[in-house]
Structure formats: structure tokens, C-alpha cells
């Protein structure tokens, strides 16, 4: 129980670090919403409320993840000090390099509570890439979800090389597996509630005589 509460405390700390960028993403999302709706209408499409909610959640998550991973370590807790004293360019220093040794099995068997938390976190944080990429865009495929998680993970690990953080092949493997897990959750949702899952797709707008212009389809 103590370990679980410790995990919750750590997770909440990470969520707090995600909030600034997530808030900024939410503002941008609503600012560009009218433009997106006009573009969809020009193509004869409309985006249901559920799809917009899904897009918003995904945008908040991606921005929050960026805030958590591509900034120097402890950037957000020390932000008030940085604002008072000015930027500290020493934070933009090379990291410790890329760690190429695959040690997942050793960490799983004898990694302790902290390593287990990191492994679970790396899986969970990238599951939304696999889930939302399948839910919100047309023609979902497992390899698209896996590729989305893999690409995002590689990008983050490369950026971390330049902000004084560690980069690890184990993180990329876990993140990619997280994307696959997210796609599996999508398949489960589509199997159990196909009509609900379909409501996250764009629909054709009605023509003047009241008929729809086509079947449900997704838009980028």
C-alpha cells in the first residue's frame, strides 16, 4: 500500500509538470477551432462533439508530455527562480549520451520500486499515441499506432541529448510497446461499443434535401 501511495504521489508530481504546456495547448486548440471547422465545412464534413473532445484530450496530452520530457530536468519546479534571476543557459547542455544497452529484463526482475514505476510510466505515457491515432483518424492500423509512438519517442530521446537529460534505448522500446497497448485498447473499445467508437469520426454534412452526402469518414 505504501508503494502504491508513493506511485500516486510521483504520478501527481509529473502531472503538475505537464499542466503548463497542456494549458497552452488548450488555448491554441480553441483559438484554431473556428478555422478547423471552416476547413471541414469546405470539404463537406463536420466534426462531432465527441471527436472534438477526443482531439482536445490528445492535444492536451501531447503538449503535457512535451512539457514533461523535452525541457531540462526540474525545469518547471525551478521556473519561479528562473523568472526572477533570468534564463540559465547552462541547462541547455549535452546530456550523458545515448544508453544502448537493453536491460529491460534485468530491471523487471530486480529493478526495485523506482525502476518499476519508470517502466510502467513509459508504457502508460505512450499508450494514448496508439489509442487516439486509431480512434480519431480513418483506416486504423496497428503499425500506424506503433509508428506514432515510436516516432514520438525517438524525437523526445534526441531532444533530451541536448538538454542535459538521459536518452535510453529501453525507453524507446517501452514507449513503442505502450503505443501497441493503446491500439489494443482501441480494438477492445471498437469490439465492445462499435457505435460509440464510430462517433469519434467525422461525418458528412447534410445536403439541402436532408440526405447525408456520404458515409462516416475521418479527416486529418
pLDDT digits (tens, 9 = 90+) for 186-218: 999 999 999 999 999 998 886 555 555 444 444
Q: What is the DSSP string of 163-177?
A: TT--EEHHHHHHHHH
The secondary element (H helix, E strand) that includes residue 46 is strand 45-46
pLDDT reported for residue 215? 46
Q: Say if CB 218 and CB 201 are below 8 A apart.
A: yes
Please classify residue 168 by burial: count the beta carbons closer than 10 Å to its beta carbon, then call 0-12 exposed, 13-18 middle and 19+ buried. Answer: buried
Q: Kindly report the pTM of this predicted structure.
A: 0.84
Per-residue model confidence (pLDDT) at position 218: 46
d(CA 143, CA 126): 14
Give the orientation angle of helix 112-136 with respect to helix 2-42, to 10 degrees.
20
The residue ranking higher by pLDDT, 96 or 8, is 8
The pLDDT > 70 percentage for the chain reads 83
Per-residue pLDDT for 172 more than 60?
Answer: yes
Per residue in 6-48, pLDDT tens?
888 888 888 988 999 999 999 999 999 999 999 999 999 999 9
* Exposure on the CB side of residue 209, measured as CA atoms within 13 A: 2
Buried b / exposed e along 103-139 (16+ C-beta atoms within 10 A): eeeebeeebeeebebbbebbbebbbbbbbbbbbbbee
d(CA 146, CA 181): 9
3-state class (DSSP) for residue 137: coil
Amino acid at each position: 500500500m505504501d508503494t502504491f501511495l508513493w506511485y500516486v504521489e510521483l504520478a501527481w508530481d509529473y502531472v503538475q509538470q505537464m499542466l503548463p504546456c497542456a494549458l497552452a495547448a488548450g488555448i491554441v486548440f480553441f483559438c484554431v477551432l473556428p478555422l478547423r471547422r471552416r476547413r471541414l465545412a469546405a470539404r463537406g464534413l463536420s466534426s462531432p462533439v465527441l471527436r472534438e473532445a477526443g482531439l482536445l484530450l490528445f492535444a492536451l496530452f501531447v503538449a503535457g508530455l512535451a512539457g514533461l520530457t523535452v525541457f531540462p530536468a526540474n525545469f518547471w519546479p525551478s521556473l519561479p527562480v528562473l523568472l526572477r534571476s533570468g534564463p540559465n543557459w547552462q541547462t541547455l547542455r549535452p546530456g550523458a549520451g545515448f544508453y544502448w544497452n537493453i536491460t529491460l529484463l534485468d530491471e523487471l526482475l530486480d529493478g526495485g520500486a523506482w525502476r518499476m514505476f519508470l517502466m510502467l510510466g513509459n508504457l502508460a505515457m505512450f499508450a494514448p499515441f496508439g489509442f487516439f491515432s486509431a480512434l480519431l483518424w480513418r483506416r486504423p492500423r496497428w503499425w500506424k499506432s506503433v509508428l506514432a509512438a515510436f516516432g514520438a519517442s525517438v524525437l523526445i530521446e534526441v531532444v533530451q541529448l541536448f538538454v542535459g537529460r538521459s536518452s535510453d534505448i529501453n525507453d524507446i522500446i517501452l514507449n513503442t510497446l505502450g503505443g501497441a497497448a493503446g491500439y489494443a485498447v482501441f480494438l477492445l473499445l471498437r469490439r465492445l461499443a462499435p457505435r460509440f467508437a464510430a462517433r469519434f469520426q467525422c461525418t458528412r454534412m447534410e445536403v439541402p434535401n436532408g440526405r447525408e452526402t456520404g458515409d462516416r469518414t475521418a479527416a486529418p
